[in-house]
């Protein structure tokens, strides 16, 4: 038991540092080729915070642990909205950019609704639905529309992205180290999560929703808290919302192509919780002081997260 927990923690360290190395190396190479910071921010950096979810899901799909794959993404999205935005807005009230309010948050809710329709069998009374390969392709297509809008139709300000200046060889070394860390870290997390679930008599879904989802959300938490402490409060919500869109569009899209993902009745509760959290975030930025997410709202978010996780652990 103790050995499994230690391996799980080591897996998270490898996963998160691997993602960090990969993003730093790729960003440095992109800067050497004079790629604008806005594009680096919208692709490499934004995608980097979703790499842990993607790697864990791919490993889980190959291992046949589809419950971990689904619950990891849904649990991460719940953590991102209720816990991470909650904590950061308690530290400093968060300004809401117009694009975040009118485009990003509505699109995050839209892609969730699309996903819900693709796995709608549980809502119709069936025991299971499934995200098959055609459904996964639809998610990737919807995500592609969002990226197209950002690059070609939206007026996006230059991103204030921190990138490092490395030599080409050092950048390539960072990329290799990142890929190694991601591969071994993801494998250790899935293997340890499976053993932990068996040893404690818990379902893979519950382990994925709590331990794995919270662990893979650590990059988003670190990014958002660091942003607000440095005074870059405008990046805190955008980072989380984009990560949630990446999680549904890219992470579930790619995982569903690798291995069709059964969607059980138990996951319906998690999906409803994600949709509810997304709607709550949307209402929070359109009601009252629309340009600011205030501390009391952050406190409500954190209380809701703790309450939901407590309920799921007791119910599980």
Please state, in angstroms and as integers, the Cα–Cα distance from residue 157 to each residue in 28, 97, 99, 152, 172, following that order.
21, 11, 10, 13, 29
Predicted confidence (pLDDT) per residue in 39-67, tens digit: 665 566 667 777 788 888 888 888 777 78
Report the share of the chain in percent with pLDDT over 70: 85
Q: For each of the chain's 316 residues, which pLDDT tens digit applies?
A: 778 888 878 888 887 787 778 777 877 777 777 766 556 655 666 677 777 888 888 888 887 777 888 888 999 999 999 999 999 999 888 888 777 888 888 999 999 999 999 987 655 555 567 888 999 999 999 999 888 877 765 544 444 555 566 778 888 888 888 888 877 887 788 788 777 777 777 777 888 888 788 887 877 777 777 777 777 666 678 778 888 999 999 999 999 998 888 887 778 888 999 999 999 998 888 776 667 788 999 999 999 999 998 888 887 6
Strand-strand pairing, 94-95 and 292-293: antiparallel
120 DSSP β-pair partners: none
**Assigned token pair, 157:** 């300000």
The domain tally of the chain equals 1
Supply the range of the domain harboring residue 90: 2-315
Please state, in angstroms and as integers, the Cα–Cα distance from residue 25 to each residue in 17, 39, 80, 243, following that order.
12, 15, 25, 20
- Residue 304's domain is classified under what CATH number? 1.20.1420.30
Q: How far apart are CA 220 and CA 5, in angstroms?
A: 22
Backbone angles phi, psi at 96, to 5 degrees: -115, 115
């Amino acid at each position: 038991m103790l050995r499994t927990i230690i391996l799980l923690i080591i897996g998270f360290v490898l996963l998160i540092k691997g993602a960090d190395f990969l993003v730093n190396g790729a960003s440095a190479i992109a800067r050497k080729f004079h790629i604008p910071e806005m594009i680096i921010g919208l692709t490499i950096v934004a995608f980097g915070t979703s790499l842990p979810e993607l790697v864990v899901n791919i490993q889980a799909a190959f291992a046949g642990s589809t419950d971990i794959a689904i619950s990891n993404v849904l649990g991460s999205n719940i953590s991102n909205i209720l816990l991470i935005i909650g904590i950061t807005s308690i530290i400093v009230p968060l300004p809401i950019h117009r694009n975040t309010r009118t485009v990003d948050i509505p699109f995050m809710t839209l892609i969730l609704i699309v996903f819900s329709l693709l796995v709608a069998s549980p809502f119709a009374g069936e025991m299971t639905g499934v995200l098959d390969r055609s459904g996964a392709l639809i998610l990737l297509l919807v995500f592609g529309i969002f990226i197209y809008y950002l690059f070609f139709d939206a007026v996006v300000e230059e991103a204030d992205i921190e990138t490092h200046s490395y030599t080409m060889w050092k950048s390539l070394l960072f990329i290799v180290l990142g890929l190694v860390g991601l591969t071994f870290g993801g494998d250790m997390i899935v293997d340890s999560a499976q053993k932990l679930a068996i040893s404690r008599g818990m379902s893979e879904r519950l382990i994925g929703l709590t331990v794995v989802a919270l662990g893979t959300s650590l990059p988003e938490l670190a990014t958002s808290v660091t942003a607000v402490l440095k005074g870059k409060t405008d990046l805190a919500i955008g980072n989380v919302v984009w990560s949630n869109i990446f999680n549904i569009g890219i992470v579930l899209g790619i995982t569903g192509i690798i291995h069709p993902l059964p969607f059980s009745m138990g996951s319906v509760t998690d999906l409803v919780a994600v949709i509810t959290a997304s709607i709550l975030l949307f209402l929070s930025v359109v009601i009252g002081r629309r340009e600011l997410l205030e501390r009391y709202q952050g406190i409500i978010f954190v209380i809701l997260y703790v309450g939901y996780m407590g309920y799921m652990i007791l119910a599980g």
